[in-house]
């Protein structure tokens, strides 16, 4: 009688569990104890993908090509003797499809600021696999620790406008697990808000009073001239 099979081990030997479209990956399936020949079957979500027979104690190698979203998910393998109706199942491996990020958009609720004001900047990539990591810059210098977002929401930083040097160009960059995929945002500049002079309301008030006086005098002149004219007749 053949030796009892151990549960096979499913191991990734080429590629990564985070896969991109058109990537090839190779899985190895092997029962470390048992008597050959052994039949190995690979399953994805309980559907048979491929099967190989091994006449010695070497692993069955399954090469997969990720050509669509349906190729990702959970895989398992089964080891069994041809003469047996039973079999042993392996651990599972799950593939996740990763997508490149889109160019992030840098924005703020206000485009104008003045010295001594608090402002916010938001950076968001609308597309791309999560999580996404964001980093903010002013010129070429980073101005905050990187922020990793697990949800599709903007990374936000708070700034204090302390001097005129804070009115430079701001940018952010976004990256995820997709290889060689870092994108930079548009540039964003705060413009200096015009500060109203404290003397402006006073000048306006004085101007209105003067105008009213002129109008009052203009209206009073006819009433003062008419009696004088009648008195001289």
Q: What is the domain-level CATH number for residue 16?
A: 2.60.40.10
Q: 1 in a domain, yes or no?
A: no
Q: 226 in a domain, yes or no?
A: no
Residue 73 sits in the same domain as residue 122: no
Residue-level pLDDT at 156: 97
| Domain endpoint, select from 41, 62, 97 | 97
Residue 63 sits in the same domain as residue 137: no
Residue 89 sits in the same domain as residue 130: no
Residue 60 sits in the same domain as residue 124: no
Find the domain containing 48 and state its range: 9-97
| Domain endpoint, select from 81, 97, 113 | 97
* Strand partners for 149: 132
* Token pair belonging to 75: 């895989």
Residue 69 sits in the same domain as residue 134: no
Residue 72 sits in the same domain as residue 122: no
Q: 179 in a domain, yes or no?
A: yes
Residue-level pLDDT at 232: 57
| Domain endpoint, select from 97, 130, 165 | 97
Q: Is residue 146 within 8 Å of residue 161, measured between CB atoms?
A: no
Domain total of the chain: 2
Residue-level pLDDT at 83: 63
Q: 218 in a domain, yes or no?
A: no
Residue-level pLDDT at 84: 59
Residue-level pLDDT at 199: 47
Residue 73 sits in the same domain as residue 52: yes
Q: 81 in a domain, yes or no?
A: yes
* Token pair belonging to 157: 């930083």
Q: 147 in a domain, yes or no?
A: yes
Q: 92 in a domain, yes or no?
A: yes
Q: What is the mean pLDDT of each run of 10 residues along the chain (233 residues)?
A: 85 93 95 90 94 94 92 95 80 94 95 89 95 95 95 95 87 93 94 63 72 79 59 57
Residue 89 sits in the same domain as residue 129: no
Residue-level pLDDT at 113: 87
Residue 109 sits in the same domain as residue 182: yes
Q: 203 in a domain, yes or no?
A: no
Residue 92 sits in the same domain as residue 111: no
Residue 90 sits in the same domain as residue 18: yes
**Global pTM?**
0.62
């Amino acid at each position: 009688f053949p030796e009892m099979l151990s549960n096979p081990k499913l191991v990734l030997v080429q590629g990564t569990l985070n896969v991109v479209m058109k990537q090839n990956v190779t899985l190895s399936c092997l029962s470390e104890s048992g008597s050959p020949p052994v039949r190995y079957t690979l399953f994805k979500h309980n559907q048979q993908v491929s099967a190989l027979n091994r006449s010695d104690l070497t692993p069955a190698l399954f090469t997969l090509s990720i050509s669509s979203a349906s190729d990702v998910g959970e895989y398992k393998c089964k080891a069994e003797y041809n003469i047996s109706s039973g079999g042993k199942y392996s651990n599972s491996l799950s593939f996740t499809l990763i997508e490149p990020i889109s160019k992030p958009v840098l924005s703020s609720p206000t485009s104008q600021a003045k010295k001594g004001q608090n402002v916010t900047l938001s950076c968001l990539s609308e597309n791309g696999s999560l999580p996404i990591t964001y980093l903010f810059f002013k010129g070429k210098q980073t101005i905050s620790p990187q922020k990793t977002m697990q949800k599709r929401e903007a990374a936000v930083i708070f700034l204090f406008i302390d001097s005129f040097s804070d009115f430079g160009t701001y940018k952010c960059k976004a990256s995820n697990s997709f290889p060689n995929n870092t994108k930079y945002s548009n540039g964003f500049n705060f413009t200096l808000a015009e500060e109203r002079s404290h003397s402006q309301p006073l000048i306006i008030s004085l101007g209105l009073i003067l105008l009213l006086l002129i109008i009052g005098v203009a209206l009073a002149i006819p009433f003062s001239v008419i009696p004088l004219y009648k008195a001289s007749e």
